[in-house]
Amino acid sequence: MARPEAPVDRTVPACAELADFLRARRKSAGLTYREMSRLAHGMPSKTTFERAASGAWDPIWWTVQTYVELPMTKE
């Protein structure tokens, strides 16, 4: 069983809002960050997806775009 995610860092409200959106998208698809990275052929990595959804890190646009465009289904 995976450990629970840390709470979203709310220091910067815009980053927290983006993190909430990214987490909701992943959770609604029922995917892990590892599965997302596999679907993206390893780019971005599992860790990059996790950081983007932390709220403590301002992800580059390419990471957010990949997060949104990724087919959110298990294969």
CB neighbour class for 75 (10 Å; exposed up to 12, middle 13-18, buried from 19): exposed
What's the Cα-to-Cα distance from 68 to each of 1, 4, 32, rounded to whole Å?
26, 22, 15
Domains in the chain, start-ordered, CATH in brackets? 13-69 (1.10.260)
Predicted confidence (pLDDT) per residue in 13-38, tens digit: 999 999 999 999 999 888 999 999 99
Q: How many CB atoms lie within 10 A of CB 11?
A: 9
Q: What percent of the chain has pLDDT over 70?
A: 92
DSSP 28: H
- pLDDT at residue 75 in the model: 56
Residue 8 banded pLDDT, cuts 50, 70, 90: very high
